[in-house]
Amino acid sequence: MDGTEVVEAEKLLMRVGSWSEEDIEELPELYRRKAREYRRLANRGESEGISDSEE
């Protein structure tokens, strides 16, 4: 993956992270699952970051 692809991937992830649940519901099933999986992983990463800084 080159630098341009990384930048594009980061932009897409930021965009998915900003979608409402209603936006996600309008997606085809595969994309809904992947969007929810991304959110779950992103939220888990945020909570792990918080707990790491509190220790």
Q: In the chain, helix, strand, coil percent, each to 5?
A: 85, 0, 15
Q: 1-55: per-residue pLDDT in tens?
A: 788 888 888 888 888 888 899 999 999 999 999 999 988 888 888 766 554 444 4
Q: What gap in Å lies between CA 28 and CA 48, rounded to an integer?
A: 30
Residue of 32, 30, 11, 29 lying closest to 20 (CA atoms): 32
**What pTM was estimated for this model as a whole?**
0.62
As given in the structure block, the two tokens for residue 51 are 């707990």
Q: What gap in Å lies between CA 50 and CA 54, rounded to an integer?
A: 6
Give me the residue spans of the domains in the chain.
Answer: 16-54
pLDDT of residue 28: 95
End-to-end CA distance of the chain: 35
